[in-house]
Amino acid sequence: MSAISVTHLGKSFGGVRAVDDLSFTVERGTLTAFIGPNGAGKTTTLRMILGLVTPTEGGAAIGGGPYRDLERPVSTVGAVLEATAFHPGLSARTHLEALRLAAGLEPGRVEHVLEQVDLTASAGRKVGGFSLGMRQRLALASALLGDPEILILDEPANGLDPEGMRWLRGFLRAYTHQGRTVLVSTHVLAEIQQIADHAIVLRAGRLAWQGPLSPETDLEELYMEVTA
């Protein structure tokens, strides 16, 4: 069974055709790059997979069924969709603790995910003073709370400095080496090329290309060709 499958998915916003007859699968244990020009429909697709936007046509399954039918959603999929709005007056630890309680997860998870994203030293600080990169790490920590099998990340490299990008690469690589699955949208092709084993390219809401990546693939070249 695929980790994620999208079948003839379509979404119109009024007269705007954001996603059009899109089908693809993401296999377990792979790191798949989800790429395409601005407005190609990446975020809309990710939001439909996560049950946050209702498709106009078609459907998406995650972990074997529609998101809304998952028995334990937080243990199946963790998502970071955009630089999430955190309450500026709360600490990172308090944020995570509130999410942990709401999801009914074990107490030890908060310290565990803080360590996973290398945020333990700043966990007691107010999030209002966090840099963009620290917010990205906190958002990732929130997604990891349920120890999910599948991670869906929308432009997680936004705001990360070179050290942060290198850290994220190592983190995602290690995550998939545990047999877990990552679907990540990004515009930073040189970064994702180093770790992705598969790519899905969108153009104007449609599938422009999908396939495995080898060390010889020039992802930027491929992207320019199929989105031209």
Ligand X SMILES: Nc1ncnc2c1ncn2[C@@H]1O[C@H](COP(=O)(O)OP(=O)(O)OP(=O)(O)O)[C@@H](O)[C@H]1O
| Residue numbers at the binding site for ligand X (CB under 6 A) | 13, 16, 18, 36, 38-44
CB of 217 to ligand X, least distance (A): 21
Nearer to ligand X, 18 or 189 (CB): 18
Nearer to ligand X, 40 or 96 (CB): 40
CB of 144 to ligand X, least distance (A): 23
As given in the structure block, the two tokens for residue 106 are 């074990």
CB of 143 to ligand X, least distance (A): 18
Q: Please report, in angstroms and rounded to a whole number, the separation of the first and last CA atoms in the chain.
A: 33
CB of 42 to ligand X, least distance (A): 3
Nearer to ligand X, 42 or 100 (CB): 42
Per the CB < 8 A criterion, the answer to whether 23 and 186 are in contact is: no
Nearer to ligand X, 173 or 206 (CB): 206
CB of 39 to ligand X, least distance (A): 4
Nearer to ligand X, 69 or 82 (CB): 82
Count of CB atoms situated within 10 Å of the CB of 218? 12
Nearer to ligand X, 42 or 137 (CB): 42
CB of 37 to ligand X, least distance (A): 7
Distance CA 32, CA 210 (A): 10
CB of 2 to ligand X, least distance (A): 22
> Mapped to the 3 state alphabet, what secondary structure does the chain carry?
CCCEEEEEEEEEECCEEEEEEEEEEECCCCEEEEECCCCCCHHHHHHHHCCCCCCCEEEEEECCECHHHCCCHHHHEEEECCCCCCCCCCEHHHHHHHHHHHHCCCCCHHHHHHHHCCCHHHCCCEHHHCCHHHHHHHHHHHHHCCCCCEEEEECCCCCCCHHHHHHHHHHHHHHHHCCCEEEEECCCHHHHHCCCCEEEEEECCEEEEEEECCCCCCHHHHHHHHHC
Nearer to ligand X, 22 or 61 (CB): 22
Place of tokens 């679907």: 183
